[in-house]
Structure 1
Amino acid sequence: MSMGLHNTETDIEILFQQTLLEVSTIEYLDYGTYRSEESSELDHHVLLFIVGGSGEMLLNGQMLQLSRKHAFLLLSGMKAVINSMHQPNLKLYRVSFELYRQSESTDSYRGYEKERSFPVQGQIAIHQYGLFSRLIKLLYDNHHSLDVAMKLQQSIYMYAILRMLLKEAQSVITIDTWNAFDQSVRYMQDAYHTDITLDKLADLAGLNPSYYSTLFKQKMDKSPIEYLTGLRMNRAKELLLLSQDKIRNVAREVGYKDEFYFSRRFKAQYGVAPSVYLKHHHRNVASLSYACTDHLYTLGIVPYAARIDKGPTSITDRVSEPLESSQSWDIWRQKLIRVKPDMIMCKENISLQARNNIGDIAPIIVIPWMQKDIFYHIQEIAQLVDKEQAAKEWRERHEQRVELARKKIGSATGSKSVVICTFTANGLRIYGARNMGHVFYRSLQMRPPEKLQRQIDKYDIGTGLVWVAASAEEIGDYEADYLLLIAKSEQEARAGMKQLQATEAWLRHPAVKSGRVFFMSFNQWLIYAPDSIDRQLEEAVTLLAGSGGRQLI
C-alpha cells in the first residue's frame, strides 16, 4: 500500500486519523564511541536527527552529508550505513518506529496493515530547530517509562514530530532531485563566464526558482549568485597570480565585459582592488596534496587545512583542519569553508575535481608536478606565498647536506649503480631520477642501470619519468650493484619476493650475488618534497654506509 503526498492541514489530519504509530526504540548516538552496523535493509522506519558534528551516510548507494539542523527519514527496506571512522564529533538521535494504516473499517471492526511508505523521505532541513529538538528530547527522556500514560504521551510526541516533518516537506531532497541539482551546479562550473540566470539553473534542476535557491543554500552554504560570483572571482585570482595578463583581459575571461565593474565587484568581495591583491601576502593556504604541505612547511608555513595522510607527526599534528583521503569532497568542503583560505594548492591529478567541488571557496593553484622537478616546485610555491628567501636558504642547506653525504659514502659506493624497485599487484615498478630515485641518482650521483638510463635521458632531469613497469623476469634487465626493494606491506613484500626468487634472473643479479639487497619503507620514500628528501638522504647514507637498513640477503 502506498501513501500519496499530503500538502494541506486537512490531508495531514486525515493521514494521522487513519494511522497508528508505535515507537520501537530511541537512542542517542555519540560517534566518539559508537560504531555503525553493517549496511543492510532496514526492518523499521528510522528517523535520524543530527544534533552535533557532521558526517556521511550511504543511503541506497547515494552518499549524503549529515549535518546539524537536518533530519533523515529512512523507510523500511532502504539500505543505509554511516561510516563512523572519520567523524568522531557526530552526534544524533535514532528513532525506530512502525506505522499501521487502516485497511478495513466497519461499525464493529477496524483492521490495520503495516505501512512501508510515508509521504516524505530522505533529507529534511529543520527550520524550527528549537521546537523539534525539544520534542525529540521529550521522546527520548520518556521512552523507557513503563507507565501507560507516558506511553500514550510518547505517541503524541512522535505524531507531533512526524507532523513537523510533513510541514517541512518542501525541504525534502530525493536522490533524483540531487542528481538534477548536481547537473545545474556542473553547468555553473563549466559556463561561469557566460550569462547565467536563476531561472536557467532552476529549469535545469526541474525546480521552481524559490525552492532551487533554498536547496542551493542548504547544500552549498551560499546562494546561487554567491556561488557563481565565487567561481568567477577565484578564477580571476588564479589568472592574476599565475599570469601577467591585464586586468581588462582577466575580467573578460571570467565573464565581466566591463573591467571597472569587475574591479568594483572584486573590491566589494575581498576589500582590495585586483591591482592591490597581487601585492598581498597569501599565507592562509590549504593544501590538497601532502607533497605541497611538505613544501609549505619547509618554507615556514603550516597550512590551515591540508592533506596529512603520509606525513610525519611533526608536520601533521600542527594542521588545524586535516584532510584525509578517506573523506569525501563534501567533508573537505565544510572544512575549507571554515578556514577561508586565500588559496588552495594541488597537483594536476585532482585539479579538475577541486575546481568542480571547491572552486568557489578560493583560487585553485595547480602546481605543474610532472613537468617540473622539486627545485622548480619549491621556487614556484615560494613565489606564491612570498617566501623566496626561505626557498633559497633551504636549497643552500640541502646542497650542503648532499655534499656531506657524498663524502660519507664515497669510499663505500664509489661509482656504484643502484636500482630501486617497488612491488605492485601488477608487477614491478623501476623508479627513475625523481620521487624514490631522486636521492640516489641526483643527490648521491649513483648510476642507474643502463636500460633505465636510456629512459631517463628522454626527459629533462627530474621530470616526466617517475617509473617504468617490469615483470619479475625482467629484473635481470636492470643489473646494478645495489637492489632496493620497497613494498606497502609485509604481505606485498612476501608475495613480490616469492615471484622474484622463482626467476633465474634473480639468482644472476649482481646485487643478489653480493648480498646488497635491501628493503625500505614505502611511506618514507613515497613523497617527493623538500623535508621528505632531506629525511630520505639521511636514511640513504645510513643504509649505504653499512650501519642501517633491512638487509634481505
Structure 2
Amino acid sequence: MLQEKMIEQAGQPMDWDGLAFRLLSVQVLKGSDEIHLPQQLVLSYALIVVTGGTVQLLADTGLLELAAGSVSLCLPGQTFGAVEQSGSLEMYVFYFNVYQYGAADEGSRLLKDAQLLPQTGQLAQIPMPFILTLCNELAQREEMEQRKVSFRAQIAFQELLYNVRVSSWQRPRDTNYALEQAKKYIEEHFTRDLTSQSLAQAAEFSPKYFNDLFKRKYGKSALDYATELRLQQAKRLMAESGAKLRDIAHQVGYADEFYFSRKFKKMIGVPPAVYMKSRRRKLVAYSSSLLGQLLPLNLMPYAAALHPKWTEYYYMNYRNEIPVHISAYRSNQDWQANLEVLRQVSADLILAEESLQAEEKAALEQLASVHYLSSEPADWRSPFLELAELLGESWQAEQWLAAFDWEAGQVREQLHAQIGSESVVVIRMLHNKLYLHCSRSMASMIYQELQLKPAFDAGGEIYNIPVTPQEIAAIGADHLLMLIRRESDTLNEWSRLQNDPQWLKIAAVQRHRVHFLASDPWREQSAYAQLRMIREIRQLFLGQSSIHVP
C-alpha cells in the first residue's frame, strides 16, 4: 500500500550495549530574528533538537523541516546549516563522541560512522515536556560549569539519547511529519501515476485539506511538485546524447510525448527540442570555481563539483540542472572516485585548474579533451574571457561584463555616499587563531572594484598574518569583515571570543560594525563569484537587494 511505503523504512541500528557516549558541548540558538547557523562541517556527532518554532535545515541527508519536538542526527564529516526559520525559534545542538568497547584488553575506539538510529534525517518526535526540561537542564549545567560538561550533564544527555532512540522507532503523527513523508514519497516516486486522493489518504487527511496544507507549507500543490520533479529529471536526460524525446517522456512518467512537450514549453519556456540542442555539448566543471565561469556565459555543465557546504550557493540553486555531481569535498583526496564517475559521462570537454597533480592530470586526459585554467590568476577577467573565446561565447562574455561593470559602479557610488572614508579590514578565524587576511578575490573586489579604504597595509595585496584582539583594536578599523571557518571547533571558539574582554574593547565591535563573510564566494576567483560579492557587500552595508545582471 502507498501508506505503508510512505512510512520510512527502518534500518538496523547498532547494539548500544557496547557503546559509550561523551557529550562535548551544547549550542543554544534562540530568537524570533533569523538565527545565524551557516553551513558547517561537524567533526563529532551532532544531535539537533528543536523545542520551539520551525526551522529548515540543509544537511547531507537533504532539506529537513524541523518543528518543536523534532530531532535530527548529523554524523562526523557531514555538514548542516539553517536555511530558513519561522516563528520564535528555540533549538539545541548537542555535540558528542561515540566510543566502542571490546574485550578487556582491547580498550575503546572512537567511532565516526556508527548507525546509531534506525533512520536518518528527521527522526521521530519526542514528548515536549520531557525534551524541554532536559534540554534546559543540559544548557544551564554547561553554562554553570563554564562550558565544562559536568558528570550530571553527561547523565542527562544519556537520558536524552535513550529517549531519542526509543522515539525513533515510533511513527510520529504530527502534521509536519506527515507532510514531510508525503513530500519524500513524491521525490522517490514522481514517475508513477500519483493522485491527490492517494497521497492524501496515505497522509491520513482529506484530499482538500491535504492539498491546502501542502501548498501552504511548500508553496505549490503536491501534483505541481511532482510535475516540477519530472521536468527536472527530463532536463537531466536531455543532456544525454542519443536520448529520444519520446523515451524521455516515458521515463519521467508521461505516456503522451506531445502532452509532455506542451507541458515542458509552458514550464521551462522553450520547446524540448531547443533545450536539447543547447545541452548537447557535455562540459565538465572539474572544480566549483569553473562553474562560476560558465554561468555568466549561460552554459550549464553536464557534470560539476558540488557540495552543500563548500559550494552551498551552486548546490542550492543549480544541483537539479546538473545531471552528474562529483565531489567538491576534499577533492584532492577524492579525485580517483571523481574520475570513476566521469568515466561514465563521455564528456566533450573537461575544464580543470592547472594546479592538479601530474598523476591526476594524466588520468583526466585519458577521459576527454582537457582545458586547464590558472588556479591563481592575476585577475579574474582574463581567464573568463579566455574561456569564453574557447567556447565561442565571447559576445556573451562582453555583454555580461558590461552589465557587471555598471552594477559595480552603482554599488561603489552608494557605498562611498553611505560610509565615506571609513576603513575596513578582513579578519579570518581558524580554530582559536585570528588572522589579518586578504585573498586575491577579496583584494579585487573590496579594494579595487569597490575602492573601500583598507585599515591595514601589509605591503602586498595577498596576506594572512596572525593577530590578537589587542592588535586589531590598535589598527582602528571602522568595520570588521569576519571570515570564520564553518566547522564546530572554530564556531565554538567564536562563541567564546565574543565574551572576551579584549575583543569587546575593539571600537568596531562596540559600534556593532562587525560583518560576516562566507568562504563561498569570498575565496573563489571567478566571474560569478565577483558578482555575488558585490551583492553581498551591498546587502551588508546598504541593506539593499541586488540589481539583476543576466
TM range (shorter): 0.3 to 0.5
Larger Rg: 1
Normalising by structure 2, we get a TM-score of 0.44
> TM-score normalized by structure 1?
0.43
